[in-house]
Amino acid sequence: MPLSAVQAATALPDSINVPDGHKVALETVGVGEITYECRDKADMPGQTEWVFVGPKAQLRDRSGKAVGSYFGPPATWQAKDGSKVTGTQLAVAPSSPGNLPYQLVKANPAEGQGAMTGVTYIQRVALKGGVAPSSACGVAQKGQREQVDYQADYIFWAAQ
């Protein structure tokens, strides 16, 4: 049974808590994959690393019904009604080993009218997977892409 937004928020690191004066507008579970590409490390000639390229996930409500999608770049959350938001990452905090970090995003004003209208913040919590591949990333693998499965709860907040 997934945690409610209130239960999840009380167990989160302070850096990703939503400021007071906001209420939960929508709770979703994102299920999908994250693409990584083997690329040269920035400012480190001859060294390579797996670099985050972008996500592709279905957003589901707590009953498992599809209610939207998450994709990027730029990171975009879109509801089935066509409304969507992009955002700017404000903070991340470590979750458990082998899982993406917790994340707090400040939402840009929504495009279109619907479920995303009024969303001000998005939290990524309850993470499973999604970290860079453990496979080799060397000169011979440069340019190769790998998809990694992940799941995360996305909690959308609006001003009260």
pLDDT string in tens for the chain (160-residue length): 344 444 444 578 999 999 999 999 999 999 999 999 999 998 888 899 999 999 999 999 989 999 999 999 999 999 999 999 999 999 999 999 999 999 999 999 999 999 999 999 999 999 999 999 999 999 999 999 999 999 999 999 999 9
Q: pLDDT value at position 111?
A: 96
Q: How many domains, in total, are found in the chain?
A: 1
Tokens representing residue 144 in the block: 């190769």
The type of residue at 94 is: P
Task: List the Cα angle 8/1/24 in 5-degree steps.
Answer: 40
Q: pLDDT value at position 42?
A: 86
Q: Which residue has the tokens 């999608």?
A: 69
Q: Choose among 22, 96, 100: nearest CA to 57.
A: 100
Q: pLDDT value at position 7?
A: 46
Query: What distance in Å separates the CA atoms of residue 137 and residue 130, rounded to the nearest whole number?
Result: 17
Q: pLDDT value at position 35?
A: 97
Task: List the Cα angle 76/80/81 in 5-degree steps.
Answer: 100
Tokens representing residue 9 in the block: 């928020």
Q: Choose among 11, 21, 25, 40: nearest CA to 154.
A: 25
H or E element that contains 118 = none
- Contacts of 24 by beta carbon, 8 Å cutoff, 6+ apart: 5, 6, 155, 156, 157
Q: pLDDT value at position 44?
A: 86
Q: Domain of residue 135: give its range.
A: 5-159
Q: pLDDT value at position 12?
A: 86
115, 79 contact by CB (below 8 A): yes
